[in-house]
C-alpha cells in the first residue's frame, strides 16, 4: 500500500508573517455513525453499542498490527501500522494545489497522517478518489527528519496557551514501546479504586513509583514531565479512535474485584451494550444517585482521576450500569479511550515528549 504523509502545518515555516495561517485552528468533526443515524433513526443506546463494538475491532486490529510488525522486524527497522478501518470521528481535509478533499478519521494514537495515493496496487476500496500527486503543483517528498516535522504540536479541545496556563492539569512523559513504535504511549504505574491502591512493579529504571494520594487523587498544577525514556509493560496507548478503555488482563481483573467490593450491588449479565462488568440498578434509584468510588490512573507517578461519568454508562434497556472499560489479553497493551477523555483538553507536545491533561467541562469551551 502506498501512503502519503500529510503535514497540517506544512507551509508555516516558509510563509512570511503577513500571510501565514493561524497556528491553531478548529476542525468540525462528524461521528462515523452520523449518516447511518440519520438514515436508520438510530437511538443513543444503539449508537453507543455500535461504538463499543468498533472499539473491540480496534483493539484486535492493533494486536494484529503488532503481530505483523514482529514477524517483519528482521527485515524492517521501523514501520507505522496502517489500518484502513477504525475511528469514531471524521473530518474533511484538503491537500495539494488545487485542493484535493477527502474524508479522514481522527486518530490521536499514532504519529502518522496518511491517505492512499496514486499509483496504487493492492489498496483497499475507498469512497473518495485517490490523491494523485502529479496533478498537485505543491507536492514534494519530505523526509521525516525535516524541520517542518519538528514544528508539529497537537492540541485537542482548546488552544495551547489555555492548556499551558491552566491550574488543574497534569503533564505526563510520552514514552515509546518497541512493540508499538509509532503509538503515543504512557507508562501506567498505579491504579486507585476507593482507598485501595495497586502500585505496579517498575519494569524499567526510568519508571517512577506511584504513591497513592489521600483521600483521593488530585491533579498537581506544578507537575512537570521528565525526559522521555523506555516504556513499561503496563503502559497505555492514548486513543480517541476507541470509545472504551481497555486494561491488560491482570489490571482489569484487579479493577473489577475492587469495584465489586466498593459498589456492593448485584452483578448483572447480558448487557445490551456488549459490556462485561455491569451492576443491576436498584428499583426506583436513578443512575446518577448510585455510589461509585474514586478511580485514578497513575502515569509516571502523576494521577489522573476518573469520575463516575467517565467510568460507567447506563444500560437503560437492561436496567443496569456498566463499566466502560474492557479486558485486553494478558501481556497486551492497554488503551485509554475517548469516553475516559471526555471533559478534558489533551495537549500533545511532540517536541518535548509529553502529554498534558487539563480538566475542562466541554460546555465551558467557546
The CATH number for 332's domain is 2.40.70.10
Long-range contacts of 155-158 (CB under 8 A, 24+ apart): 155/24, 155/345, 155/346, 155/347, 155/348, 156/108, 156/240, 156/345, 156/346, 156/347, 156/348, 157/344, 157/345, 157/346, 157/358, 157/360, 157/362, 157/365, 158/345, 158/358, 158/360, 158/365
CB proximity list for 27: less than 8 A, separation 6 or greater: 91, 106
Write the pLDDT tens digit of every residue in 234-292: 788 888 889 999 999 999 999 999 999 999 999 999 899 999 999 999 998 999 999 99
pLDDT at 161: 60
102 and 170 both lie in a single domain: no
Taking phi over 0 as left and psi of -120 to 50 as alpha, with beta for the rest, 351 belongs to: alpha
From 150, 182, 207, the end of a domain falls on 150
pLDDT at 267: 95
Average pLDDT over residues 197-210: 55
Domain boundary among 90, 121, 150: 150
Q: How many domains does the chain have?
A: 2
Look at residue 365 and give its three-state secondary structure: coil
CA-based end-to-end distance of the chain:
40
Query: What pLDDT is stored for residue 16 in this prediction?
Result: 36
pLDDT given for residue 27 in this prediction:
74
Verify that 138 and 238 share a domain, yes or no: no
Q: Which of 126-140, 298-312, 343-357 has the highest mean pLDDT?
A: 298-312
Print the domain residue range for 276: 154-364
33 is catalytic: no
Q: Which of 297, 302, 360, 78 is nearest to 173 (CA)?
A: 302
pLDDT at 126: 79
Catalytic residue, from 33, 107, 300, 315: name it: 107
**Which whole-number Å values give the CA distances from 227 to 170, 171, 237, 274, in the listed order?**
15, 12, 18, 40
Please, which pLDDT band fits residue 155 given cuts at 50, 70 and 90? low
Query: Which range scores top for mean pLDDT: 97-101, 214-218, 234-238, 318-322?
Result: 318-322
pLDDT of residue 33: 83
Cβ count near 227 (within 10 Å): 9
According to the model, what pLDDT value does residue 201 have? 66
Query: Which member of 177, 189, 239, 300 is catalytic?
Result: 239
Whether the predicted pLDDT of 321 surpasses 50: yes
The string of DSSP codes covering 86-104 is: --SEEEEEEETTTTEEEEE
Q: Which helix (H) or strand (E) holds 262?
A: helix 249-263
Residues 55 and 124 in one domain: yes
DSSP 30-47: EETTHHHHHHHT--HHHH
74-85 mean pLDDT: 42
**Residue 150 is among the residues annotated as catalytic for this protein:** no
Mean pLDDT of 167-178: 83
Last residue of one domain, picked from the residues 100, 118, 150: 150
Task: For residues 175 and 145, state if they share a domain.
Answer: no
pLDDT for 226 equals: 37
One domain, residues 218 and 134? no
Q: Are residues 136 and 226 in the same domain?
A: no
10 Å Cβ neighbour count for 238? 25
Query: What is the average pLDDT score of the chain?
Result: 75
Q: Are 47 and 111 contained in the same domain? A: yes
Per-residue model confidence as pLDDT tens digits over 122-135 = 787 877 888 899 99
Q: ∠ CA 199-322-318 to the nearest 5 degrees?
A: 160
Which pLDDT value is given to residue 255?
Answer: 94
pLDDT at 224 over 60: no
Give me the pLDDT at residue 319, please.
93
Q: Are 106 and 87 in contact (CB under 8 A)?
A: yes
| The pLDDT of residue 3 is above 70 | no
pLDDT of 301 over the 80 cut: yes
The residue that leads in pLDDT, 163 or 364, is: 364
- Verify cis geometry, omega within 30 degrees of 0, for the bond prior to 98: yes
Does residue 168 sit in the same domain as residue 135? no
Contact (Cβ atoms closer than 8 angstroms) between residue 72 and residue 79 = yes
Q: How much of the chain is in helix, strand and coil states, percent to nearest 5?
A: 20, 25, 55
Indicate whether 26 and 126 sit together in one domain.
yes
Contact 193, 258 (CB under 8 A): yes
Shared domain for 140 and 9, answered yes or no, is yes
Band (pLDDT 50/70/90 cuts) for residue 365 is low
Residue 196 shares a structural domain with residue 321 = yes
Local confidence band at 303 (pLDDT 50, 70, 90 cut-offs): very high
- CA 185, CA 169: separation in Å to the nearest integer? 18
Question: In angstroms, rounded to a whole number, what is the distance separating the alpha carbons of residues 135 and 248?
Answer: 47
| 232 and 339 co-located in one domain | yes
Amino acid at each position: 500500500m502506498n501512503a502519503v504523509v500529510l503535514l497540517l502545518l506544512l507551509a508555516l515555516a516558509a510563509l512570511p508573517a503577513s500571510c501565514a495561517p493561524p497556528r491553531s485552528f478548529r476542525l468540525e468533526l462528524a461521528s462515523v455513525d452520523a449518516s447511518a443515524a440519520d438514515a436508520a433513526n438510530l437511538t443513543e443506546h444503539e449508537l453507543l453499542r455500535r461504538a463499543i463494538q468498533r472499539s473491540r475491532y480496534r483493539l484486535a486490529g492493533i494486536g494484529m498490527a503488532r503481530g505483523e510488525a514482529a514477524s517483519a522486524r528482521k527485515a524492517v527497522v521501523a514501520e507505522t501500522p496502517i489500518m484502513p478501518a477504525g475511528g469514531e470521528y471524521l473530518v474533511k481535509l484538503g491537500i495539494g494545489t488545487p485542493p484535493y478533499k477527502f474524508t479522514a478519521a481522527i486518530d490521536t494514537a499514532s504519529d502518522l497522517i496518511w491517505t492512499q495515493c496514486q499509483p496504487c496496487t493492492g489498496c483497499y476500496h475507498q469512497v473518495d478518489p485517490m490523491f494523485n500527486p502529479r496533478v498537485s503543483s505543491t507536492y514534494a517528498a519530505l523526509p521525516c527528519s525535516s524541520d517542518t516535522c519538528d514544528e508539529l504540536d497537537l492540541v485537542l479541545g482548546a488552544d495551547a496557551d489555555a492548556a499551558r496556563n491552566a491550574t488543574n492539569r497534569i503533564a505526563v512523559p510520552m514514552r515509546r514501546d518497541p512493540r508499538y513504535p509509532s503509538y503515543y504511549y504512557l507508562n501506567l504505574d498505579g491504579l486507585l479504586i476507593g482507598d485501595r491502591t495497586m502500585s505496579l512493579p517498575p519494569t524499567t529504571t526510568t519508571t517512577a513509583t506511584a504513591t497513592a494520594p489521600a483521600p483521593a487523587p488530585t491533579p498537581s498544577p506544578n507537575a512537570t514531565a521528565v525526559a522521555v525514556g523506555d516504556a513499561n509493560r503496563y503502559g497505555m496507548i492514548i486513543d480517541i479512535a476507541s470509545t472504551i478503555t481497555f486494561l491488560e488482563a491482570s489490571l482489569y481483573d484487579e479493577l473489577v474485584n475492587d469495584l465489586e467490593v466498593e459498589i456492593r450491588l448485584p452483578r448483572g449479565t447480558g448487557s445490551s451494550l456488549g459490556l462485561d462488568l455491569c451492576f443491576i440498578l436498584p428499583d426506583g434509584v436513578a443512575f446518577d444517585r448510585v455510589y461509585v468510588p474514586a478511580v485514578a490512573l497513575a502515569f509516571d507517578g502523576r494521577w489522573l482521576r476518573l469520575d463516575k461519568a467517565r467510568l460507567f454508562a447506563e444500560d437503560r434497556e437492561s436496567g443496569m450500569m456498566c463499566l466502560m472499560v474492557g479486558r485486553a489479553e494478558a501481556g497486551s497493551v492497554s488503551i485509554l479511550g475517548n469516553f475516559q477523555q471526555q471533559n478534558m483538553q489533551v495537549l500533545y507536545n511532540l517536541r518535548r515528549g509529553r502529554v498534558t491533561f487539563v480538566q475542562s467541562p466541554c460546555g465551558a469551551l467557546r
